[in-house]
Every structure is written in structure tokens, then in C-alpha cells.
Amino acid sequence: MAKKIPEETILRLSHYLRALLYFLEEKKDVVSSRAIAEFLKISPHQLRKDLSYFGHFGKKGVGYSCAQLLEAIKEILGLNRNWYAAVVGFGNLGRALSFYKGFRDQGIFIKVAFDVDEKKTNRMYKGIGIYPLEKMEEVLKREKVQIGIVTVPKEVAEDIASRLSGCGIRAILNFAPLKLNFSHTIIAKDVDLSCQLSYLTYHLKTAHRDSPKQSSK
Amino acid sequence: MAKKIPEETILRLSHYLRALLYFLEEKKDVVSSRAIAEFLKISPHQLRKDLSYFGHFGKKGVGYSCAQLLEAIKEILGLNRNWYAAVVGFGNLGRALSFYKGFRDQGIFIKVAFDVDEKKTNRMYKGIGIYPLEKMEEVLKREKVQIGIVTVPKEVAEDIASRLSGCGIRAILNFAPLKLNFSHTIIAKDVDLSCQLSYLTYHLKTAHRDSPKQSSK
DNA sequence: TAGATTGTTAATCGATTAACAATC
DNA sequence: TAGATTGTTAATCGATTAACAATC
């Protein structure tokens, strides 16, 4: 592989996808990097730099074909196919994520969920099969699932991750407040909601004493 | 202000807090940067560098007092007091966040929630008052709330943010798939769940063709 | 051709890692 | 005193921004 691709670039590709969907809805055939950048409130340089990691998608002096760039980015992100996920921990958050529309729109479907609480399990819930946690290995053996979404308490999260890994699942979206993104066998993305809120309280507290200006990013 | 503090540093302070809570539970009075770093799977350099932005908290040759460092970080993050938040959009995700324990443990309490759906509103729900969206200004005038948590559809998110700002709320945790973190009057943190999943599908797709090794971070 | 806009190289900026002097 | 560990400076690494040649 030629140049290392920044993680931030990958995350921004999703934004570009959204912008293109918007411009397509607006019946635009072609857009410039400037127009996309304005829509997303970023700089056009960044968009072009990000795309340059993957190839040449535009025409100099013209811009980008919305439809073509959309397809190209979908392909880069692997979103030109369907993916299936399992939610582990069917509490408030697990349930909310199971029915999150944003995932389905991208072709990512929650197929099954697991929970320790026997009262929740062994039934279908809006098309999703809910199983007891101890049946995880058994169920995942027959269901084709590539992604695990972990919303269990932090005490068991690491164990769950390694069990998922044992079932052949190589990607985890983790909501437990600890780092799962450290192994070499699993790709994990940690989403730590408490950290995000502390980030806000830090700035609320700090904004006071300094001045109304604020270091957003 | 002397040196600019990286955003990543602020986010890591929350992790340090958790590590210290762990070591306190383990009855440790003093910990070294190495021990904390091992627990969190980061490098001790990073911990020490991060802390150095805020002062001197350890004793050379000894380490850090768990209790003292805990208090110091709480103060830095503004977590030595209570904060109150309003959830806007009481759908699946809004409801899940309203009862998320991790927030309460940090002294951040959801006081009220708003939704357009009249069937959900004008009642209490496990201690949280649910109000119709059009009463937002009225309710927020009498309730002391510093943080807005936005889980409305993307079409209305920007409008909601500016209405929150108009009510004196200066910090927003945004789950709508667009950027609210651009104004100078509001501190926003955007949490984009679809991006996180695409990040995983990208790596799943890419890991195949390269090799089992993976560029975690 | 002139104007517009891309793709890429170079310059800048910022964050992480490493090394080490200070000191408990 | 010797060993341990912090806090800070310096070196490295990586990402963003800017500038511009290529070209539609």
C-alpha cells in the first residue's frame, strides 16, 4: 500500500457520502469540492486530499459526478453490500441501537441480540431474534454475522469481545467504557459516551474563566 | 493560557478518572504512571504528558496519590459538581441516553426531555419530565439545564441547536448525522454512529485483501 | 482561449513518543 | 546512597492547510 491512510479520512468518507446523497436529491449531476465542503463545513482542500488517497474521481475544471463519486466511496467503505451485526447486551442502549435507522440505511442490519436476562430472551422483537447470552456461540455458528455491537457492562466486555472473536467476528463497535481497540485479531471502535460529556463539562467550565471564545474543532 | 491543550488529552482525562476509581477500589493509595498506563493500555509517557498540561500531581520516585489525582482530574473536567441536561428527541436513542447510568455516575443528570410526538409528552417517565417540543423555551426558562443532548432527525437538528442556544444552553452532545460543532457560541460534540460502523466495514473489507495484520489505534 | 477546478507536492501545524535531568 | 519515578524538553511522526501545476 502506497501511503498510510489517516483514520480521520476514513471517518470523513461517510460525511462525503451524505453530502452526495443530498446533492443527488437536489438533482445535481456534478458538484465541486467547494460545494461539498461548504455543505459539510470543512475545507475543500481536505476533501480533495482525502479522496486522493484512493484515486482520481473528478474532472479538472469540472468537478465530480455525484453518482460516480457516491458509488466509488461506497465501494471504498465496503458499503456496496449488506452487512449483518449482533447486539450483545439488550438493555436500553442495545435496544435503541438495534432499531437505529441510520444503520439500515447503510445496509447494515442487526440480525440477533443477546442478553443475560432470561425475561428478555427466546423471542423475536421486531424482526430481531433475542437469545440468552450462553447460546451466543451456538447462534452465531448458524447466523452469518460480521459485526458485534457491545453494550454490556464493562466488567464483562472484554470477555464478550474474545468470545465474539472466537465466533469469527472480526469487528466490534464497543459502547462499554473501556478500550477494546488493542488486539491485532479484532478491529474495534470504542464509543465512549461519558468521555464526550466530560469534554463538554470541561469546556463549559473553562469557557467561563477565559472568554466567550472557544476552541472548537 | 500557556500551551494549547489537545482535545484528545481532555478525552483521555476521563479514562484516567476511571483507572483511578479502579485502583481506589483495589485499596491502592499510590499508583505509578506505569500502572495506570498498563491498566488503560496506553503509554506512561502519554499519561504524564497529558497531566503536565495542568500541573504537577505526582511525587518523583513515588507516584501519584490515587485520591488526590482523582480529585484533581474531577476538578479539571468540571466533574466536582452536578450538571443538568435536556434530551431533545425522545425516540429509542433519546430514551436510552436518558437512563444511561454512566452519565449519572459522573454527576450529570437528565432533567427533562422533549419530543414532537404528543403521545409521549406531558408526563413523567422515571423521574424525567417529557414535554412537547414547542414548550422547550418555556420549560428551559424555569429548569436549570446546561447541556443539550440532541437525538432529533438531521433535518431539524440545526434548528434545535440554535433554539437551545437561544435558551442559554452552551454545550450540545449531538447524535444527528451532521456537524453542529462549528459555531463560536456553542460547544458541540458530534457523535456519529453511522461513521463508526463504516469505519468497521472499511477495515473488514480491507483486512481481507491485505493480510491479517490491522492498523488499530 | 480563458476560467474553473482537480490532484499533488510542499509548508505548516499539532500530537505522540522517547529520552533524561530532577528529585523523592 | 541507590532505585524508582516524575515532569519536561527534544525528536519523531502524522495530519491539515496552502499553493500551484496540470488540464478539462
A4-19, pLDDT tens digit by residue?
899 999 999 999 999 9
Cβ neighbours of residue A73 under 8 Å, at least 6 residues apart?
Answer: A13, A16, A17, A20, A79
Residue B183 binned pLDDT confidence (cut-offs 50, 70, 90): confident
B63 to chain A, closest Cα gap in Å: 23
Average pLDDT for chain B = 93
* Residues 10 through 29 of chain B touching chain A, CB cutoff 8 Å: 10-11, 13-15, 17-18
Q: How crowded is the C-beta side of B99, counted as CA atoms within 13 Å?
A: 15
Q: What kind of fold does domain A7-77 have according to CATH?
A: Arc Repressor Mutant, subunit A (1.10.10)
Give the pLDDT score at B145. Answer: 97
Q: Is B61 on the interface with A (CB under 8 A)?
A: no
Q: Higher-confidence residue: A101 or B184?
A: A101
Please report residues of A whose CB lies closer than 8 A to that of B216: 181-184, 187-188
In this prediction, residues B93-101 reach a mean pLDDT of: 97
Q: Does the domain made of B83-195 have the CATH classification 3.40.50.720?
A: yes
Q: What average pLDDT does the structure give for chain A? A: 93
Residue B142: pLDDT band (50, 70, 90) is very high
The mean per-residue pLDDT over the stretch B176-192 comes to 93
Q: Model confidence at A206, in pLDDT bands (50, 70, 90)?
A: confident
The whole-number pLDDT of residue B3 equals 66
Contact B106, A181 (CB under 8 A): no
Are B149 and B85 in contact by the 8 Å Cβ rule? The answer is yes
- Location of each CATH 3.40.50.720 domain in chain B: 83-195
User: For A167, phi and psi rounded to 5 degrees?
Assistant: -85, 5
- What per-residue confidence (pLDDT) applies to A208? 54
Across the interface, of B179, B198, B199, the residue whose CB is closest to A41 is: B179
pLDDT reading at B182 higher than 90:
no
Of B77, B182, B201, the CB nearest to A201: B77
Q: Which one is the CATH code of B7-75: 1.10.10.10, 2.40.110.10, 1.10.3720.10, 1.20.1530.20?
A: 1.10.10.10
Q: What is the pLDDT of residues A124-179, one digit of tens each?
A: 999 999 999 999 999 999 999 999 999 999 999 999 999 999 999 999 999 999 99
| A46 sits within 7 Å of strand D by its CB | yes
Q: Which nucleotide is nearest to A52 (CA to C1')?
A: C7
**Cβ contact, residue pair A76, B10, below 8 Å:** no
Closest CA to B85 of B164, B17, B196: B164
Where in chain B are all domains bearing CATH 1.10.10.10?
A: 7-75
Give the count of beta carbons closer than 10 Å to the beta carbon of residue B159. 10
Task: State the average pLDDT over residues B130-158.
Answer: 97
Instruction: Report percent pLDDT > 70 for chain B.
Output: 94
Give ranges for CATH 1.10.10.10 in chain A: 7-77
pLDDT at residue B4, as a whole number: 85
